[in-house]
Structure 1
């Protein structure tokens, strides 16, 4: 049985399992054939605590309330019984209407992998459940621009009454429509609404008016990781510093991957440093829920995995490739595949051929080299993070042996560098965009009612 079939059952799709746990559960599914007329469960009798997924044939379920359900290939039953810790009496009579083959996963098999059935079906936070609807757009005061992108600007703002600072992402509806990114922007908002993690930027709330979409985001004031790696006097950071930053990034990626979210644009420009010196992943514009594989070409050239370049279909494995590239860049001070003057065709050839080397002189120690070489692997199936144990292979690697994950998540490990932040509105760690702050608003005509309807779900 393929993993995606088991993931089609909500109690598994909504469970917080490690990839290697899911792989083991798939291995424990056995095939059982029932003859026409066989009774799998009888009303009033103890129910078998098994999950059944129909491969061929038909099953009839007669409920004690008189309802009858006919199930066929791809349907499943028994999910209620296996979630009970004690035995239950069946309220259904279940019969094979014809010769039927099912994949069967017993409760005891499930418990042998996950420990307790109480872990089954833990739902993800509902979309938009954490957004603060008490804040209004009119409550915010603009101060300066922190960044400029394809669809708009990011402003430093504060709340008029509380004085709380935020970053306000302001996106042009017309530009979004023109670039055919309506679905992508709404997807970004929905994904951010469902995430709550100390190392992933927090979406506070959203607004919209006739011309723009707005995303109010927590302010992360320490600037980009890129500016930590590349300064006026050096490129690269020491081994211990790189390990600390990498550990933060691994936790953020792991949080996304456990929710089937592929980030797809990992690079130092998309990682900010907070006031305590910890990494925060930002800009989820390319993030996507991926249950199997996706084929969209997206990301930043230097960090693209071979399977993206070759259009072979990709999943979370591309994040682990980029993670390896990022660790290399932190330690060496440059990309493993790009050097000044390299054109994109040559860059992509080097990536696909995995053509890179470590500088001489022990710049990167053997332990770090080993981890990087296990991440920057052409064949995704052999890449660390994509094996049976999932991200545990990375966590358990010797390079991360000194990292206490619990302390890291509670921000109890002293960061290697803490940014100097003068006040709650200090934006000194960001580039200046004064030249575009006073640009007049767009004079283009308003969107039609049909175009406005495209943003109904934002």
Structure 2
């Protein structure tokens, strides 16, 4: 363990971002990642007012020229500068629901940990989230092949530290989409990112099926009740991928419904190579 910490020193805590923004009096129940009833425009206005200390003007962001950092069903991520700080700006599609967007922002205001991507603020028009700018994702790194076991251990400790923090909050935050694409690489280690479908949980969540198939816990696949333990399952799959340098279930010609059913029924797990296990133990 000492060799790992000497080669990859653990970072000191980042500068505090200020106290979490209180949710009381917003008129909206944000727990479990959903609203209990359809919010009114007044509810949305109250919630936005609670968040106003983190709201910034879109025209104060200077975007870099060149290709975007990524894009998907949510929208697009581009690099830029805000308040003389390099930032990544996640711009959501215009059709994104106001309350869904503000719920994600509210959740990010609660988080302040060196293993989680740093949140700076948000804009309402257009809807975007401003975060620290990091390099590549863990997925990009894994495209070059498996990682050395000592680095895997360092990275595993980084992700575990971030998850422990999220799961210790009150109410707990369950990420619900932990995978290499949502883990970013910084100079001092890894950061957990993308809280778009994360949820605040007390006890167990309702049976909401969400996430990415090959990293999803069986109980989530089956839309059963689940807790933060679903993140731990996803973490195990990510660890497997770091050590193997391949996507889970890569041996399948087609990752279809049959494989999803087998995973959900706990009949299939990624296969551990005996040779890999033995070499990892030696290192």
Pair in the same fold by TM > 0.5: yes
Select which of 216, 235, 239 maps to 2:130: 216
Alignment correspondent of 2:75: 152
Structure 1 residue 197 and structure 2 residue 108: aligned? no
Q: Which residue of 1 aligns with 2:243?
A: 331
Cα deviation for residue 268 of structure 1 reads 0.5
CA separation in 1, counterparts of 2:51 and 2:236? Answer: 34
Q: Please, which of 281, 284, 288 is the counterpart of residue 199 of structure 2? A: 288
Instruction: Find the aligned partners of 1:151 and 1:183 in 2 and give their Cα distance.
Output: 15
User: Higher relative contact order by CA 8 Å / sep ≥ 6: 1 or 2?
Assistant: 2
- Secondary structure of the 2:246 match is coil
CA deviation after TM superposition for structure 1 residue 130, in Å: 10
Match of residue 355, structure 1, among 251, 263, 268:
268
Alignment of 1:342 with 2:237, yes or no, is no
Match for residue 265 of structure 1 among 177, 198, 201:
177
CA contact (8 A) 1:130 1:193 kept: no
Cα distance, 1:258 vs structure 2? 0.7
Task: Kindly state the Cα deviation for residue 354 of structure 1 after the two structures are TM-superposed.
Answer: 4.2
Q: CA 1:132/1:310 → structure 2, altered by over 3 Å: closer, same or farther?
A: closer
Unaligned runs of 5+ in 1: 1-123, 369-398, 400-458
8 Å Cα contact 2:217/2:230 also seen in 1: yes
The 3 A distance-change label for structure 1 pair 185 and 364 is: farther
The partner residue of 2:148 within 238, 241, 256 is 238
Larger % of helix: which? 2
1:83 corresponds to: none
- Give how far 1:149 is off: 2.1
Q: Is 2:147 aligned against 1:226?
A: no
Aligned to 1:223, the other structure's residue is in SS state coil
Question: Separation in 1 of the partners of 2:278 and 2:102?
Answer: 43
Quote the Cα distance in structure 2 between the aligned partners of 1:291 and 1:154.
31
Q: Distance in 1 between matches of 2:230 and 2:93?
A: 30
Separation (CA, whole Å) in 2 of partners of 1:282 and 1:331: 21
* Among 215, 226, 247, the residue aligned to 1:303: 215
* Equivalent residue for 2:61, pick from 140, 152, 156: 140
Tell me if the contact between 1:129 and 1:194 (Cα under 8 Å) persists in the aligned partners.
no
TM score, norm. by length of structure 2: 0.74
Deviation at 1:334, TM superposition (A): 2.4
Q: 1:185 to 1:339 in 2, by over 3 A?
A: farther
Q: Confirm or deny: 8 A CA contact 2:179 2:215 kept in the other structure.
A: yes
Given the alignment of the two structures, is residue 172 of structure 1 paired with residue 93 of structure 2, yes or no? yes
- Unmatched 5+ stretches in structure 2: 1-18, 23-49
- Alpha-carbon distance, 1:303 to partner: 0.5
Q: In the alignment, is the contact (CA less than 8 A) between 1:337 and 1:355 conserved in 2?
A: no
Residue of structure 1 aligned with 2:20, choices 125, 137, 143? 125
- Tell me, in whole angstroms, the C-alpha distance in 2 between the residues paired with 1:214 and 1:242: 33
Q: Judging changes above 3 Å, is the alpha-carbon distance between structure 1 residues 338 and 313 closer, same or farther for their aligned structure 2 residues? A: farther
Following superposition, the deviation at residue 263 of structure 1 comes to 0.6
Count the aligned residue pairs. Answer: 230
Aligned-pair Cα RMSD in Å: 2.4
On the 8 A contact 1:131/1:203 being kept in 2, the answer is no
Query: Could you say which structure has the larger radius of gyration?
Result: 1
Shift of 1:364: 2.1
**1:141 alignment partner, SS class:** strand
